[in-house]
Structure 1
Amino acid sequence: MSGAVRTEPLHRETPLLASSDSCSVAVLLRGYAEPQGTGDAVRADGTVTLVLPRAWASDSSRRRSPSADGGAKTALEEAVRGPILVDTGGPWAREALLEALARQGVAPRDVTLVVGTHGHSDHIGNLGLFPRAALLVSHDFCLPGGLYLPLGLCERQPLTLGSGLQVWATPGHGGQRDVSVVVEGTSLGTVVVAGDVFERLGDEDSWQALSEDPVAQQRSRERILGVADVVVPGHGAPFRVVRGAVKSSEDLVCEDKEAA
């Protein structure tokens, strides 16, 4: 038998998607992409996801910007101690984002790391709300004030943020420097916040037309489907990845005989 993968809806109406011993994952704003009129116009905005460490509490003693004193590794370790935002939506979603954060007990000044999966305006349009946060946008990592530090992130070398928390290089949709956030060991298994590597559940008929590098994106999609139990796509509801087994022709013959 050989392995098979299928995807199906994940019916979750609350923002809280999953939790683990170390963090929770909540979809603050669900992305969308809706054709407008009879031409090629599309009204769209990107999904915004919050990764909240369990050890974090919203008190002033924890509102401390990451420091560059120990280099990029130490700065990242400091940044992931607080709330982590994956994408920010477009600037038109500013108020909705602030309200969604507030419902989780998080203020913009509390956010210590913002990960931008790629550089499109509907995914990083609200970076200005988080001047105290470290920014990891595509492969660029900078601290408050614009101090950039090298990371060495590539497809062969994921970036470990903490226990069960990684950033993967997943090129394709926006070029060679797209990233995804991988959260392992949650109540739903491994959750991958994928940006636009996946537009939505059932995007097989459309993602290639939006991709700057379809070959690289196909590779990224397969890599994510190989590990994810849940995918948070860039423009739709989270969906489940189900792995099963494809029956061989010998198995099918045996079943036919039994049925007869």
Structure 2
Amino acid sequence: MSTLVRTEPLSGPPPLLVPGDPYSVVVLLRGYAEPEGVDGAVRADGSVTLIVPQTRGSSSGHREAGPEGRSAKTALAEAARGPILVDTGGPWTREALLDALAGQDVAPRDVTLVVGTHGHSDHIGNLGLFPDAALLVSHDFCLPGGLYLPHGLGEGRPLQLGPGLEVWATPGHAGQRDVSVVVAGTALGTVVMAGDVFEHDGDEDSWQALSEDPVAQERSRRTILGMADLVVPGHGPPFRVMRETSPTKGEGEPPGGAGGSLQ
């Protein structure tokens, strides 16, 4: 038996609100990548997504207690009580990001955790807007002020931030330290903010050329397609993931693409 996977982009401009319990997901800014000029130049920016707990904790709760004896697990759970931002776009997107947050009644000081899926400038170019937030950029986790805490994140060992809210190691695009954020229990099922593990829906003809480790990234893509009902890619609209079981192997597109067959 094999599971055939097909994908379908969601239409409509951002913000895209996906209600959920205990977390809702809001795609604030849709990433893009457009060829410009000659010699392979590309004008690009990354998608930015907000995760909002149904019941917000204090925006300063994770800053009140002293850091002594603090574990990464405890600090991450505390940081996840407030709004969480996944990627920040490039610095040229600063005003658009601030406007998008304001549209959700969120100020930069309200954000308690920023997750950067990887270290490229079009995905973490506005970290400076959030000096009071905890930061998880790739695999580096630090509290405000630069206190770095060790943790056990690795492939197959996600970090749990809250009920149905996890950070997964999804290596490949930028090397071994890419991460994706998984939110279960939304109105559209499980949402995965995948950074550039998926450039966009239907990217099977292009993602390998942009990957530092295509073998690892194909493995990460399979993992995401196996769990996600909705994927927020790095440079395109969110897309639905639909599955059906077939008794015949070998059907569908190659498994490395956004559509294909999961064995």
Shared fold per TM-score greater than 0.5: yes
What code does the residue aligned with 2:157 have? Q
- 1:85 and 2:82 matched: no
Alignment-derived partner of residue 122 in structure 1: 122
Q: Which structure 1 residue ranges, 5 or more long, are not aligned?
A: 250-260
Alignment-derived partner of residue 103 in structure 1: 103
C-alpha distance in 1, partners of 2:163/2:62? Answer: 21
C-alpha deviations, 1:123-180, integer Å up to 9, x for none? 0000000000000000000000000000110002110000000000000000000000
C-alpha deviations, 1:16-59, integer Å up to 9, x for none? 331211111001110000000132000000000000111017xx
Given that residues 14 and 30 in structure 2 are in contact (C-alpha distance below 8 angstroms), is that contact kept between their aligned partners in structure 1?
no
Alignment-derived partner of residue 10 in structure 1: 10
Alignment of 1:14-163 (within 5 A): 14-56=14-56, 62-66=59-63, 67=65, 68-69=67-68, 70-163=70-163
C-alpha distance in 1, partners of 2:157/2:145? Answer: 27
* Alignment CA distance shift 1:14-1:196 (3 Å): closer
* Alignment CA distance shift 1:72-1:248 (3 Å): closer
C-alpha deviations, 1:201-251, integer Å up to 9, x for none? 0100000000000000000000000010000000000001110133549xx
Alignment-derived partner of residue 223 in structure 2: 223
Alignment-derived partner of residue 168 in structure 1: 168
C-alpha distance in 1, partners of 2:32/2:11? Answer: 17
Alignment-derived partner of residue 233 in structure 1: 233
C-alpha distance in 1, partners of 2:38/2:119? Answer: 28
C-alpha distance in 2, partners of 1:247/1:154? Answer: 33
Given that residues 16 and 24 in structure 1 are in contact (C-alpha distance below 8 angstroms), is that contact kept between their aligned partners in structure 2?
no
How far did 1:12 drift?
A: 4.4
How far did 1:2 drift?
A: 2.3
Work out which structure has the larger RCO, using CA pairs closer than 8 Å and 6 or more positions apart in sequence.
2
What code does the residue aligned with 1:99 have? D
Alignment-derived partner of residue 257 in structure 2: none
What code does the residue aligned with 2:209 have? A
What code does the residue aligned with 2:93 have? A
Alignment-derived partner of residue 257 in structure 1: none
C-alpha distance in 2, partners of 1:23/1:228? Answer: 16
Over 6 Å off, 4+ runs: none
Taking only aligned residues, the RMSD between alpha carbons, in angstroms, comes to 1.5
- TM-score, normalising length: structure 2: 0.90
Select between 227-236 and 71-80 the one with higher mean Cα deviation: 71-80
**Per residue, is there more helix in 1 or in 2?**
1
Given that residues 173 and 212 in structure 1 are in contact (C-alpha distance below 8 angstroms), is that contact kept between their aligned partners in structure 2?
yes
Given that residues 14 and 28 in structure 2 are in contact (C-alpha distance below 8 angstroms), is that contact kept between their aligned partners in structure 1?
no
SS at match of 2:44: strand
Larger Rg: 1
Alignment-derived partner of residue 258 in structure 1: none
- TM-score, normalising length: structure 1: 0.91
C-alpha deviations, 1:98-133, integer Å up to 9, x for none? 000000000000000000000000000000000000
SS at match of 2:234: coil
SS at match of 2:243: strand
C-alpha distance in 1, partners of 2:11/2:40? Answer: 30
How far did 1:63 drift?
A: 3.0
Figure out how many residues of one structure are paired with residues of the other and give that number: 246
C-alpha distance in 2, partners of 1:30/1:142? Answer: 27
* Alignment CA distance shift 1:248-1:213 (3 Å): closer
How far did 1:11 drift?
A: 2.7
C-alpha distance in 2, partners of 1:10/1:36? Answer: 25
